[in-house]
Amino acid sequence: MSKQKITGVILAGGKNSRMGSEKGLLEVEGQRIIERIIDELKQVVDEIIIISNNTTYNYLNYKVCADIIKDCGPMSGIHSALTHSSTKKNLLISCDMPFITKDILKKIIANSKDCDVAIPKHDGLLEPLCAVYSKKCIKSFEECIKKEKFKLTDSFKYFVVKKINFTKKELSENEFLNINTPQEYQRIKQ
């Protein structure tokens, strides 16, 4: 599969309150998480941008953009990503997913036709922070934010959503793992 006309966006604008430090800068297997994600992303997309509310990630030499609407959680990060992106489709990944692979990303992209949101599903769980979003979602996200409805899955009623099933056979136990606390970080380091 060749690269798609799609922007890869890493969401790194969170407050990191549970972790106490920038999750994307944590090291896993000798490499920062955000750098691991970039290595996988750049194999499947042409452009990468980072959504962050500080200058921490400027060293990576990718476009870094702040949230346009502040303090509204991941929804404002996705809204900003879609606003700053130059493509119709955008593959968004949270900066705390160290084991995401290009093969997982390829499958999500390949299944993102004819929908506004293409979201992975495994073990009954949805992964809204590792999904493809269409630029068409911007206005609905703005409306949700105005109404203070910040839960991503609640916004899906406004979109054509395609759930992409991943079987246990396709996944190890870690691809969609995200790290939120020091305890989770210590567990994966062992």
pLDDT in tens, 140-178: 999 999 999 988 888 999 999 999 999 888 887 788 888
Q: Percent of the chain, pLDDT > 70?
A: 94
Q: What is the pLDDT of residues 66-107, one digit of tens each?
A: 999 888 888 999 999 999 999 999 999 999 999 999 999 999
Dihedral, CA of residue 76, residue 77, residue 83 and residue 86, to nearest 10: -170
Q: Which of 145, 118, 150, 142 is nearest to 132 (CA)?
A: 118
Determine contact, residues 170/10, Cβ cutoff 8 Å.
no
d(CA 185, CA 190): 9
Q: Give the integer Cα–Cα distance in Å for 122 and 126.
A: 7
Measure the N-to-C terminal CA separation of the chain; round to a whole number of Å.
34
pLDDT tens for each residue of 126-135 = 999 999 999 9
Q: How confident is the model at residue 179 (pLDDT cuts 50, 70, 90)?
A: confident
3-state secondary structure of 156: helix
- Looking at residue 18, its pLDDT comes to 55
Which whole number is the average pLDDT over 41-56? 93
**In the chain, what are the domains?**
4-189 (3.90.550.10)
Which range has the worst mean pLDDT, 2-11, 110-119, 120-129, 141-150? 2-11
Residue identified by tokens 């599969």 is: 1
